[in-house]
Structure 1
């Protein structure tokens, strides 16, 4: 393995936090490979410095001491992950008198630059600049002047420190990008969950509006059969037919919503079922008429006006549906008037009016309700930038009135 391949291996040094020290983890095969390469690199640099420096020209006992000091410094590299700053400080004065410890000093400077804060890195680099300058005072270079040797040593320390800072910055950038990617995935999962929750709320509101209306029709027809057991056969057959068709439609709607709730998380590409429009209002009114309700439907919209947006038309349909459902529940047998008027300039106005029953028996509803229909309707209209009013009129009747914007 050549020295040119080291930049790809040195980022593996970052197996622990750059500020708080090493993490208690076992070395991976990559860590072992990096440690072995750096150990061999430190030995190679140290032997080269020993041969070219003053150590080789010294007495034999001085040479043995120099090599022993260099070997000790290289062996200390195996603990550089645990004590990088302490070992770098300890090797700095040793490299003044032991030229073979120069390789270990270079590796420790790089390690500190990669794993420690900028202030600590600069302090260690300054210490090694001083020790390098003192080394050239002890072992002068025969080919360079003292000033040139000191400048070369300072440039070497600067290059090694800058390389370590670059590796640290690159690793921090990678960690930051990884954290951002994980955060983006978490936010995307949260948005999907919120979309699923909102879709289920929307389905629940839709099913309340639809099933409440159909079940109220079932209750009215069943009540008519109960109070008129001797009714003609054709009336009983007609009532039974309405009950059967309404029950079938209610079950179909319930089956549809259960099928949607069992599907995967909702996305923008998920199709919706057919939604009601203003053209479906006559059929809705006719269903209530078949249930025995006296209804007057007055459509005062301009004949030449374009159709309102689908969301506005659906809201208007739900207003009429909720008004008829409340009339079934609380004012059975009373007259009901449904009025629809407006244009793209003035907006769309929907009104459902019914007389309150005179008798106490008629005022009591036998159809259970959750009491949230009008609340949900008000919320639906608020989301559509509309206005909603409901309550008793000065004459004692009950009125539901909604205004919806009708963009041209």
Structure 2
């Protein structure tokens, strides 16, 4: 196994303190949004390896996998997903709201990617929607209290929330939400919000945000969102969604077509190895409205908060339908028997609290290791580990 060196991405919405606090280092004053652990070509982790010819050297995990795919990933993982690590693990630290967004399913991603490739849209073009041909189911597990938006709430609830603000320019949306069946109501209102004249929408959002701040209570999150994105139509789109607050150890699974946004908090996130995002608002980036409306699932959902299922081995697994990944947690205690982690699939093991040893490598919070498929490994010490691997 190999200790990982990982890249921290400085996205503007990132917390300036959460990741440094976990790592036990001084903040730089700049946002530190995500620490990526895996083999995504945008920021692959690096391994420190020793060979007879080169001695100790650092190489990207992508290179190690390309050199020996079956040795690193195992024959079964290569047969299922090709010669690539199918998941990406992150520490995510939101100090401000992320964009309201949705991810395509696998068929939609393949179609969209092929279409943009055929039309010659550069992969790095700001108006490019599909960066790869993969879907992006994801799971976020809270390390601190964590707030987010997840899935549409019933149209009647959204109408009630908007009506309570007492803003005249919201009345057409309230009427639409009450006049049509669920799918049509949600579709028509989101379409109207995204298609509104910008100056008029900015005025409506400003008035709605002031009312939300005045009323407080359940409306307070929308005032906070508007503080970060004044006049943005995504503030109204957010009012169509369920507000969720996770406690440490609780998680949310986000499948294709489900609109969502993370608002604040620190968590461990795992996803299929993709970068396909369609945005609905709370962003200065490109919004492809026609494609977004094709991808979104216009149905009210109850956000299912996940809690891990404990096994006799001490592993606590977060059950999801994803094929590309599985996330589990281990809480280790001094003097207890070591936790057996050996698996036929590749693993990334991340320490989030305490001081633990994985194999012969000592890990402090924020440190991680890559374990090739089939390599014998156990963990001991006192602290918390998250294990990311491929679903059975």
Q: Same fold, TM exceeding 0.5?
A: no
| TM-score interval, normalised by the smaller of the two chains | under 0.3
Q: What TM-score do you get using the length of structure 2 for normalisation?
A: 0.19
Q: What TM-score do you get using the length of structure 1 for normalisation?
A: 0.18
Q: Please identify which structure carries the higher strand content.
A: 2
Q: Please identify which structure carries the higher helix content.
A: 1
CA radius of gyration, larger in: 1
Q: Which has the higher contact order (CA 8 A, sep 6+)?
A: 2
